Amino acid sequence: MSRVAVVIDGLLVQAEPDWTVLEAARSAGVEIPTLCHHERTGTEGICRLCMVEVAGRMEPACATRVRPGMVVNTRGAAVEQLRRTVLELVALETNVEYDDELSGWMEEYGADPTRWGEPLAGRRQRKPLADNPFFVREYDKCYNCRRCLDACGEGIQGVWALAFTGRGAEAGVTTTFDLELAEAGCIFCGNCVEVCPTGALVPLEELRAAKGGPS
Amino acid sequence: MTPPLRLEPDRVVSTVCPYCGVGCRVDLYVKNERVYRVMAHGGPPNYGALCVKGRFGLGFLHHPDRLTTPLIRRRKGGELEPVGWREALDFAAERLAWVAAKHGPDSLYFISSAKATNEANYLMQKLARAAVGTHNVDHCARLCHSSSTAALSRSLGSAAMSNTIEEIPLSDVILVTGSNTVETHPVIGAMIKKAARNGAYLIVADPRRVGLAESAHLWLRLKPGSDPVLFGAMARWLVESGHYDRAFVEERAEGFDEWWASVREYTLEFAESATGVPAEKIRAAAERYAAAGAAAIYWAMGITQHSHGVANVQALVNLAVLAGQLGKPGSGLNPLRGQNNVQGAGDMGALPNVYPGYQPTANAAVRERWGRLWGTPQPETAGITMTEALESIGRPGGVRAVYLMGEDPVTSEPYQEHVRAALAQLDFLVVQDILKNETYPYADVVLPAASFAEKNGTFTNTDRRVQLLRPVFEPPGRARPDVWILARMGTRLARLLNRGSAASWEYPNAAAVWEEVRRAAPEMFGGISHARLEHENLRWPCASESSPGVSVLFTDGFATPSGRARLLPAPWNPPAEQPGGEYPLLLSTGRVLYHWHGGALSRRSALSEAYPTLKVEVNPADAERYGVRDGAAVWLVSRRGRIRAVAWVTERAPEGVVFAPIHFAEEAANRLTNNAYDPVSKIPEYKAAAVRLEPA
C-alpha cells in the first residue's frame, strides 16, 4: 500500500496508511507525551494528554489515523494549555510521586495543580490492596489509564480479572464486585504491573526492599 | 521506558527466564544483591508478556537451601562433609574412573540437564563420550518429549517445533492437544487465546477441561489414551471424503498404503465408541483442520507420556502430512518443549543415540569424525536411555555409578520407591545442583553449581531460538558454573582413563565451549556466535554468519533420506494399567500454573504462598461415589504407594479420572505412577495409573 504524506510540526512525514498520528510523529522524532497509550496494550484516547491540533481542531494523536494531506501541530499555545490542564487535573486527583515521567512533563508544561484548589479526595483516599503474595495495588497513585485492564483482558492475557467502575472522581480500577484478585480469576502474570506507568501496581518484593525490610 | 520504581536499582541485567521452554527475555532489577522486579522485553519471543513464575518466582536464587560448598561422603553410611573443590573433584573423578576401569565404561551413566546451558550439556556428553568412552548419557527429555523426538525424527528428520512463536497469529486453525498451555506455557497460552479471539478457529482435544478448552470453538473430550484413534479417524475421514491434500501426499510423502491399511477400522463410528467423542465433532475437527489456509498443531505431555506415546505423536504427524499442513507459515507440527533448555540439551547430544547436531552414534563415519575432533576413539556400543539405566541398577551388567547434573530422579521418575531402592544400591553417585533436592541424600559427592543468574552461556527455547544468558550475581559461596565444574572433571577423567588430551578440556569460558559446538555441528550452529547473540535474534538451523536462521521448517523438503515425509502406522494400545477392581480410577499427573516440576525452584519462592499444598482434581460424580467432599483430605492409592492430598471437586477432571500435580516431593505423585515405558522412546506412562480414592 502506498504511504500517506502528512505534515507534523512542519516536517513532511511519509506514514504507513494504518499509522496513528502518534506513530507518524514518533517516526519523525517528534515527541508527544502520553499517559494511557501503550504500544502493546492498544489502549487508545483516554487521557487526552496527547491532543494535537489538526486544522484548528484538537484530536488525540494516539487514536487518530493519519489522513492524506493532514497538517498537524503538536505544540502551540492551545495544545500546551490543554496539556497543562490535563496534567494539573491528573495531579489533583492522583498521588504521582513515583511517576517521574509525568512529574517531568508537569515541570515542562508549567503545570500547577494548586491553582484549582486542594487535591481531590476521591481516589487519593483509596487504601493499598495487598491481597496476594506477588504485588500490591495502590490505587491512590492510579490515573485510570486502563493499560492494566487491557493487558489483563483483550491486549495480552485474555483473563479480564480487572474491571473499571464508578464515574467522575469515583471512577477507578478494581475487580468485579471488588473481589480479591485470586477470586476474580487473576493468574498473577503481572503483565498489569509491567505496563503500569504510575507505580500504582508494584511488586511486593520491591515495596519490601524499598522499605529496607527483609525481603 | 523506565518503569516507575520505588527503588533505584544497583543494576538491571537482561537475561532469559529460567522456567519454561517459551524462553521469555527478561530484565532483572537488582538491589543489594537481590532481584526485586522482573520486567519483560518487548520483542520476541514473549513480546512484553511474562507469567507468574518468571515474574514473581525467582526467590529460589536467594534461598538458604542453595548448595554453596562441595561435599563428599568418604564411605557409604558416613556423613557428607565439606571439602575444597580440588579434593571434591579428585575424589569424584578417581571413584568414577575406578568404576569405569573395573566394570567398563558402560557401568557409568551421565544424566545431563535441560535446565543447564547448551555449553554445559555439550560438556556433559563429551565427558561421557570422550573422557569415559560411553554413549550412556541422557537428560529429562526422556521423561517429556522423547516420544515426539522419536516420531518426528523418523517421519520428518527433525525434532523441533516446525513453526515459530511469532507465527501463532498466522494460523487459521489451531489444534492443541495434551497441553494445558495456559498453565504450563502461559505466554504461548495467552497468544493462542488471543489468536482465537482474533478469528482463528481453536480446537482443543483433551480429557481434562483445561483452561484453553474454555476458549475453544471445538473441545474434543476424548477418553485418556485414545489419541491414535481420534487423530487416525480424522485422517481417515479426510482421505475417505476427499478432503485430504492429495498433491502434498503424492509429491512430498511416502508410506501411504501401509498407513491406509493401518487405519482401515478407524471409522468415525468406531472412533466415537473408542474415544467418547461424537462422530460429528471428529468430522468437523478434521474438515476444519484440513480446510484451513494454515493450521498448526501444538502438543505436550498429554500426548507423549504414555506407554504408546510415540504412536500418539505419530498419529499427529500423519494427520498433518495428509492434510498438507506442514512447511508453511503458521502451518506445522509443534511440540511445546517444557524446560527452558530442553531443546538445547537434545541439540547438544545429551542423548544416548546422537552426538551434537543429531548426528547418529550408530553411524561409523560419524563416530570416526567425533573421534578425530576429540582425539580419542569413540565407543561402538550403543548407549541406553535414562529410564533403562535406572531400571538396570543392581542387575548384572547394570549401571553402577551415576553423574547427575540438575535432575532429581526421586521426584521425577515413576514409581518412587523403586527409584529410591535403585539409588541406594549405586556404588557411586555425583549430584551437581544448585539446591538440595530429594536425590541429594543419596549422593557420595555434591558439587554446588551456579544458577542461570550466575553464569554465561546459552539456552535454546521451544522455537529453536538460541539466547544468551548474562550473569547477574556471583555464585553463592563456593558454587561454580557447570561449565567450570565439567571442564575440570573432564581434565581429570581424561588423564585417569588415558583418553584424549587434558588440553582438550581447557575452556577459558562458556563462549569457548560454544565455538567448539559451532565447529562440530556447522549446519545447525555455524552461524551463531555469542558475539552475534549480544545484539541479534537467532535460531537454528543457522549455517552462516549472514543468516538469522530458518523460521519455518520443511518449506521445501523433509530432512529424511528421501526428502519425503514418512507416513507410518500409529497403532492404538490402551494404557499399560487399566482401572478396575480395587483401583477403579485412572490417575493422570502433570503441572499447575504456580509450580515447576519437582518443586525445587517454585516451592522456594513466593509461588508457594499461592499454591501451598497438593490438590487433586476429582469429578463430582466420583466425589459422590467415593464419599469425598471438596476441600477434604483424601488418600490416593495405587499398587505402588499412597499419597495424601486435598480434593478439588471439579468438572475439570472427567468422570473416572483424577489428576494430581507432580510438584510436591513430600506427597509425590510419582509414588503412584507406573514404571511402564513406551517401547521406542522409553518414556514412562505418567498419564495413566490405576488408583483408588479414600477419604483421609
What is the pLDDT confidence band of residue B91, given thresholds at 50, 70 and 90?
Answer: very high
Q: How far apart are CA B110 and CA B435, in angstroms?
A: 19
What's the CATH number where B377 sits? 3.40.50.740
- Min CA distance, A63 vs chain B (Å)? 20
Task: Tell me if A24 is assigned to some domain.
Answer: yes
Chain B residues with CB under 8 Å of A33 CB are none
Is residue B565 a part of any domain in this protein? no
> Domain end: B300, B315, B336, which one?
B336
Q: What is the pLDDT of residue B1?
A: 61
Could you list the residue range(s) of the whole structural domain that residue B37 is in? Answer: 11-62
Residue B457 · residue B336 · CB < 8 Å: no
Please, where are the H alpha helices in B27-126? 52-56, 85-103, 118-126
Both A164 and A198 in a single domain?
A: yes
Closest Cα of chain A to B609: distance in Å?
6
**What's the pLDDT score for residue A215?**
41
Helices B510-520, B482-496: crossing angle, 10 deg rounding: 70
Q: Which run of H or of E encompasses B402?
A: strand B401-405
pLDDT at A72: 96
Chain A residue with Cα closest to B3: A197
pLDDT in tens, B296-310: 999 999 999 999 999
Residues B23-58 pLDDT 10s: 999 999 999 999 999 999 999 999 999 999 999 999
Q: Which pTM does this prediction carry?
A: 0.95
B88 and B224 fall within a common domain: no
Q: What is the pLDDT of residues B544-560, one digit of tens each?
A: 999 999 989 999 899 99
Q: Say if CB B392 and CB B398 are below 8 A apart.
A: yes
Identify the domain boundary among B336, B361, B383. B336
* Terminal Cα-to-Cα distance of chain B (whole angstroms): 53
A114/B contact by beta carbon, under 8 A: no
Reported ipTM: the value is 0.93
Claim to verify: residue B198 and residue B274 sit in the same structural domain: yes
Length of chain A in terms of residues written: 215
Long-range contacts of B499-503 (CB under 8 A, 24+ apart): B499/B130, B499/B131, B499/B132, B499/B133, B499/B376, B500/B130, B500/B131, B500/B374, B500/B375, B500/B376, B501/B375
Residue B387 has phi, psi (to 5 degrees) of: -65, -40
Quote the number of domains for chain A. Answer: 3
Same domain as B273, residue B415: no
Q: Is residue A206 domain-shared with residue A131, that is, in the same domain?
A: yes
| Alpha carbon distance B358, B194 (integer Å) | 35
Q: Does residue B111 share a domain with residue B217?
A: no
Helix axis angle, B364-374 relative to B510-520, nearest 10°? Answer: 140
**Is A68 found in the same domain as A9?**
yes
Residue B19's pLDDT is 97
Q: Which chain A residues are Cβ-neighbours of B197 within 8 angstroms?
A: 154, 158
Interface check A185 vs B, CB under 8 A: no
- For the segment B130-189, what is each residue's pLDDT rounded down to a tens digit? 999 999 999 999 999 999 999 999 999 988 999 999 999 999 999 999 999 999 999 999
Identify the pLDDT of residue A40. 72
**How many residues does the structure list for chain B?**
696
**Contact call for A206 and B36, based on CB within 8 A:** yes
- Asked if residue B607 and residue B512 are part of one domain, the reply reads no
Q: What share of chain B in percent tops pLDDT 90?
A: 98
Q: In B, which residues are within 8 Å of A208 by CB distance?
A: 36
On whether both B49 and B88 belong to a single domain, the answer is no
- Cβ-Cβ contacts under 8 Å, A206 against chain B: 5-7, 29, 36-37
Please choose, from the candidates B210, B216, B218, B207, the residue with its C-alpha nearest in 3D space to the C-alpha of residue B303.
B207
**Boundary (domain end) residue, out of B304, B336, B368:** B336
Tell me which of B55, B62, B174 to substitute to probe the interface with A (most A C-beta atoms closer than 10 Å).
B55
* Interface contacts A/B by beta carbons within 8 Å: 114
CATH number of the domain where residue B670 is located? 2.40.40.20
Residues B418 and B296 in one domain: no
Collapsing DSSP states into helix, strand and coil, what is residue B508? coil
What pLDDT tens digit does each residue of chain A (215 aa) get? 689 999 999 999 999 999 999 999 999 999 999 988 887 777 778 889 999 999 989 999 999 999 999 999 999 999 999 999 999 999 999 998 888 889 999 999 999 999 999 988 888 889 999 999 999 999 999 989 899 999 999 999 999 999 999 888 788 999 989 999 999 999 999 999 999 989 999 999 999 999 875 44
Q: B213 is written with which cell numbers?
A: 478448552
Q: Chain B 568-607, CB below 8 Å of chain A: which residues?
A: 593, 606-607
User: In terms of domains, do A129 and A205 share one?
Assistant: yes
Phi, psi of B542 (to 5 degrees): -145, 95
A118, containing H or E segment: none
The per-residue pLDDT for A213 is: 57
Report how far residue A80's alpha carbon sits from residue A89's, in angstroms, rounded to the nearest whole number: 14
Whole-Å CA distances, B546 to B392, B459, B550 = 47, 21, 12
List, for residues B387-405, the tens digit of each pLDDT value: 999 999 999 999 999 999 9
Residue B7 · residue B34 · CB < 8 Å: no
The CATH number for A131's domain is 3.30.70.20
In a domain, B577, yes or no: no
Residues spanned by the domain of A100: 78-116
Q: How far is B20 from chain A (nearest CA, A)?
A: 14
B55 and A134 within 8 Å at the Cβ level: the answer is: yes
Examine the domain organization and report whether A134 and A197 are in the same domain: yes
**What's residue A121's pLDDT?**
83
Q: Do the beta carbons of residue B277 and residue B271 sit within 8 Å?
A: yes
Considering the domain boundaries, does residue A215 fall inside one?
A: no
Q: Using CA atoms, how far apart are residues B78 and B334, in angstroms rounded to an integer?
A: 48
Together in a domain, A150 and A192: yes
Candidate from B159-168, B186-195, B279-288 with smallest mean pLDDT: B159-168
Q: Is A154 on the interface with B (CB under 8 A)?
A: yes
Give the DSSP H/E element, type plus range, for residue B618.
strand B615-618
CATH number, residue A63:
3.10.20.740
Q: B191 in a domain, yes or no?
A: yes
Is residue A68 located within the same domain as residue A90? no
Q: How many domains does chain B have?
A: 4
